[in-house]
């Protein structure tokens, strides 16, 4: 049957991808078996000093050894990676290489650093060659990368199932990323036992990243509303679609059951398992559909931090943890996007808190669910809670506007004035 000769102007195709998963208590003890299956003989384990001190990377190295795989541990990952920290990590990997496989153990910072190392050691080039436009050249890697097994130790970023890698460009004070399907880990190994020792503040912040991933990609612009693309122009973020919607709905449902418990009772394995599952499921949603305004705002909020030191995190330098920075403008952002997809905003509120009192104004339904959750788990009150005032808003707006790849995913495209308004109203959320 031949296609009729109609010139299609709107998109009819969506893409969806995710890595194979191995999920459950004790799964990280099977990494050697998995790596051996890819024929790996020498692997670099990429982690940060905090996780290294807790012993998981060494246990993984011992496990690899049992399968005849030589490995080395690199623990120079920077929490909230920068172009500088990723370049140093890559230099180390090049000097000690060659490697035929990688294992990332840690939060999104470790997994994203491993993605960058894998890219830049498999295909010689500069970081800036691959960074998203308009900041970098957005080149595509020309061939396969090496096997990368991602083992998350926080329930948050979903980086183990996405094709994204996020970093700060120090000289520009801006966060950006690399986005290409080849970056997606070969296998995600998810072991809830690795999250049991996370402090409540880290559990709360990384959990808000899951909330925003699920809510933003569920309320993202629908894939059929984009202009039609040629096959070589297809991007990882294609808008909300029937497959990503399912994963986001399930993630929100798990969050409703377990988020508060995971923060307040850190030794509750069921709550920890549900949050790990929610993080991975939300990654399978947003990793294909995309995120929008809260994430775009998060980049300058984190990149221009003054002297905020969050409890529960390393105190060497000021930082706004990613999960906090994405959540601070989320209530106001969903008020802004409400009319573009009212039924989705209401459904998200219902999934996230089935027992919430219905507020009279339907536009307030989702913001009130988010605010109530953020208050219960101790998230700072708006951008004012991390050191910004209304007078900082004009400095933050350009950093958000640089995230055009994300803003394009919002069904109601914001102007500079809209972003300024959202940031101003987010100085305090309650």
pLDDT at 3 over 70: no
Tell me the CA distances in angstroms from 248 to 100, 159, 244, 284, one per residue in order: 34, 15, 6, 8
* 76 band by pLDDT with thresholds 50, 70 and 90: very high
Residue 133: predicted pLDDT: 83
What would the two tokens of residue 324 be?
């906090």
Average pLDDT (101-126) is 96
Contact status, residue 317 vs residue 244, Cβ threshold 8 Å: no
CA 58 – CA 52 distance, rounded (Å): 7
Tell me what pLDDT residue 288 has: 94
Which two three-digit tokens encode residue 140?
A: 């595509």
Residue 68: the pLDDT is 98
**Fold agreement (27-190, 200-425):** no
Checking if the pLDDT of 1 tops 80, the result is no
With a pLDDT cut of 90, the percent of the chain lying above it is 87
Half-sphere exposure (CA, 13 Å, Cβ side) for 93? Answer: 33
Give per-residue pLDDT as tens, 251-300: 999 999 999 999 999 999 999 999 999 999 999 999 999 999 999 999 99
Does residue 4 register a pLDDT over 80? no
Domain boundaries, the chain: 27-190, 200-425
- State the Cα angle at 385 between 285 and 383, rounded to 5°: 55
Mean pLDDT of all residues belonging to the chain: 94
Q: What pTM was computed for the model? A: 0.93
Fold of 27-190: Rossmann fold (3.40.50)
Q: Which CATH number is correct for 200-425, 2.160.20.10, 1.10.3720.10, 3.30.559.10, 1.20.1090.10?
A: 1.20.1090.10
């Amino acid at each position: 049957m031949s296609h009729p000769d109609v010139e299609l102007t709107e998109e009819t195709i969506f893409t969806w991808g995710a890595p194979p998963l191995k999920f459950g208590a004790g799964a990280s003890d099977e990494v050697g078996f998995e790596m051996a299956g890819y024929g790996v003989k020498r692997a670099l384990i990429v982690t940060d000093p905090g996780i290294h001190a807790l012993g998981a990377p060494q246990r993984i190295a011992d496990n690899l050894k049992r399968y005849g795989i030589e490995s080395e541990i690199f623990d120079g990952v920077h929490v909230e990676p920068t172009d500088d920290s990723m370049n140093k990590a890559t230099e180390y990997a090049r000097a000690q290489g060659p490697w035929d496989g990688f294992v990332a153990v840690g939060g999104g910072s470790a997994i994203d650093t491993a993605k960058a190392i894998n890219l830049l050691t498999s295909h010689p080039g500069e970081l800036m060659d691959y960074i998203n436009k308009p900041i970098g050249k957005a080149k595509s890697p020309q061939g396969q990368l090496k096997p990368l097994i991602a083992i998350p130790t926080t329930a948050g970023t979903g980086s183990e199932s996405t094709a994204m890698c996020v970093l700060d460009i120090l000289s520009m004070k801006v966060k950006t990323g690399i986005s290409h399907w080849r970056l997606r880990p070969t296998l995600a190994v998810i072991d809830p036992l690795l999250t049991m020792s996370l402090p409540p503040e880290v559990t709360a912040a990384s959990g808000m990243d899951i909330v925003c991933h699920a809510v933003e990609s569920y309320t993202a612009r629908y894939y059929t509303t984009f202009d039609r693309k040629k096959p070589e122009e297809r991007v990882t973020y294609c808008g909300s679609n029937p497959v990503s919607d399912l994963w986001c709905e399930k993630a929100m449902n798990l969050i409703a059951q377990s988020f508060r418990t995971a923060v307040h009772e850190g030794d509750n394995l069921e709550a920890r398992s549900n949050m790990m599952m929610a993080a991975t499921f939300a990654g399978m949603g947003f990793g294909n559909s995309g995120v929008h305004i809260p994430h775009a705002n998060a980049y300058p909020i984190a990149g221009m931090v003054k002297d905020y030191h969050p409890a529960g995190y390393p105190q060497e330098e000021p930082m706004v943890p990613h999960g906090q920075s994405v959540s601070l403008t989320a209530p106001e952002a969903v008020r802004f996007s409400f009319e573009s997809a009212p039924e989705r905003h209401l459904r998200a509120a219902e999934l996230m808190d089935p027992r919430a009192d219905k507020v009279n104004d339907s536009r307030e339904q989702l913001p009130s669910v988010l605010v109530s959750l953020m208050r219960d788990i101790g998230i700072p009150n708006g951008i004012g809670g991390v050191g910004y005032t209304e007078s900082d808003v004009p400095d933050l707006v350009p950093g958000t506007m640089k995230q055009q790849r994300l803003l394009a995913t919002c069904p109601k495209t914001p102007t500079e004035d809209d972003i300024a308004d959202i940031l101003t109203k987010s100085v305090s959320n309650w």
